[in-house]
Structure 1
Amino acid sequence: MTTPFPKILGLIPARMGSQGIPGKNMKLLGGKPLIQYTIGAARKSELLATVVVSTDSIEIARFASQFDGILVPGLRPAHLATHRSPMIDVVAHALEHAPGQSHAFQYVVLLQPTYPFRTPDLVDRTIRHIIREEADSLVTVRRIPDAFNPFWAYIRLNNHLEKALPDCAAITRRQDLPHAYYRDGAIYITRTSLIHEGQITGGKLSAWLHENEFEVNIDTQADWIKAENLLEKWKNQTNNIY
């Protein structure tokens, strides 16, 4: 007997405010609002049962609602739309207010508009990966260059340096460094039971290693310029899919 495929909720969080780039989610990148790139990837995913945009903005809500398959179940309350609002609270609120029976969703896939260069295939491959691994959460990661490896990092305390990992044995040779990774922000997947416990990453945590050149998580004007510089090459390699 074939096990039914889990019901997956896609969530795009997009508040209007932004400290680094005002109105970032609706700012035009290559002639399209930034959020449209994430909407495009979500719409073309084969495995997202429902896609919801969580926003405090009427403008964003109206824009997102024009796309088939994109739902905006009301506006996000103001206390969940500041730069200090914990993302877990935003995710929990969106899950609670998702159309239909929210308890039917087994995983939430968090797709932040600040990472425009993700493909529908990446969304689906990471979903299949977390299910195959029977994991509770997943993050997309990239390898930290050896020069910045935490085993070689220091912190400054009282005008002197101390090892960032003081309890670890000293590693002097690059060849002996363990590989270390950082989250790149492309995709987070979380089991809904973990969200109810107040966590986005936790439990059995799985990873999807990114090695392509299209890394940009837009928070600053410098990030925006980097995205503009990468855009044409990314469109050519993905056949301008949206």
Structure 2
Amino acid sequence: MSLFGEHRVVALIPARGGSTSVPRKNIRPLGGTPLVAWSIEVAQSVEAIDRAVVSTDDDAIAEVAREHGGTVARRPAELATDDALVLDAVRYHLTEWRAEGRPADVVVLLEPTCPLREPEDVAACLRRLAEGDLDSVATFTEASLNPHRAWRIEEGSPSPFVEGAVPWRPRQELPEAYQLNGGAYVFFADRLPDDGVAPLFGRAGAVYMPEARSVDIDTELDLRLANLLVE
């Protein structure tokens, strides 16, 4: 039996065409496969997910998505700008699907920029949401910089970012710190706040992902490094 019974679980993959840091990023090859296809293939490998939908404003991305078995949902141009919020596109599609009579009950948001996630990472988020009294779940990895080693600089003078922190303490003595890695955000659609900006909200849960699978592709260098890891 499905984790969520008769509820529909939809993976939504946001892939706009106007990336500026890495032009045409979402269809650039990673290990010979277009970046957006990695998320489609992961979604298709998770038993609990009913369909994988690519949200885009771009014809080339839509074509690649269909070639790799994804469904395409077109979003308006104003929801695909540099400063548009991904959650506004999510709300747009949820409203459209409800109007069409095929609502999504659980949303699995898979950003193409974290392509090395495994199906098990996504499945673990779904299990966490299904088994706990939660509204949303997200994947985390170790923080790239422990906040106890961060600094403020005010008028040219440095001071520890965390008051009382000793940045020179050995790593083993620092408190554990984690950061969101963009691997997956999973939440109940009807609990998504109307005006929130974050896909992690309400009673939230965390799923750990190792650093090796938490590559975030934001620059050309990131893409080169990811290709090296895949090779």
Superposed pair shares fold, TM > 0.5? yes
- The answer to whether the Cα contact below 8 Å between 2:28 and 2:34 also exists between their aligned partners in 1 is yes
TM-score by length of 2: 0.86
Residues matched between the structures, number: 224
Amino acid at match of 1:151: H
- Corresponding position of 1:52: 53
CA 228–67 in structure 1, closer or farther in 2 if over 3 Å, else same: closer
Residues 23-102 of structure 1 mapped to structure 2, 5 A cutoff? 23-68=24-69, 70-73=70-73, 75-98=74-97, 100-101=100-101
1:157 Cα deviation after fit: 1.5
1:181 Cα deviation after fit: 0.5
CA 202–3 in structure 1, closer or farther in 2 if over 3 Å, else same: closer
- Corresponding position of 2:160: 163
- Corresponding position of 1:235: none
Identity of aligned residues (%): 32
CA 67–153 in structure 1, closer or farther in 2 if over 3 Å, else same: closer
Which of 195, 198, 202 does residue 198 from structure 1 map onto?
A: 195
- The answer to whether the Cα contact below 8 Å between 1:92 and 1:196 also exists between their aligned partners in 2 is no
Residues 1-242 of structure 1 mapped to structure 2, 5 A cutoff? 4=5, 6-68=7-69, 70-73=70-73, 75-98=74-97, 100-101=100-101, 104-144=103-143, 148-166=145-163, 169-170=164-165, 174=170, 177-199=174-196, 200-211=199-210, 213-232=212-231
Gaps of 5+ in 2: none
1:216 is paired with a residue whose SS is coil
For 1:224 and 1:217, how far apart are their aligned partners in 2?
A: 9
Amino acid at match of 1:152: R
1:139-181 CA-to-partner distances (Å, cap 9, x unmatched) read: 1111226xx3213322112211233233xx5468555532111
- The answer to whether the Cα contact below 8 Å between 1:214 and 1:230 also exists between their aligned partners in 2 is no
1:8-35 CA-to-partner distances (Å, cap 9, x unmatched) read: 2210001111111110111122222111
For 2:4 and 2:110, how far apart are their aligned partners in 1?
A: 26
Amino acid at match of 2:147: P
- The answer to whether the Cα contact below 8 Å between 1:107 and 1:191 also exists between their aligned partners in 2 is yes
TM-score by length of 1: 0.83
For 2:159 and 2:106, how far apart are their aligned partners in 1?
A: 40
For 2:101 and 2:152, how far apart are their aligned partners in 1?
A: 48
Q: Once superposed, what is the RMSD of the aligned Cα atoms? A: 2.3
CA 176–35 in structure 1, closer or farther in 2 if over 3 Å, else same: same
1:183-213 CA-to-partner distances (Å, cap 9, x unmatched) read: 1111111222342433311111111111252
1:41 Cα deviation after fit: 0.7
Gaps of 5+ in 1: 233-242
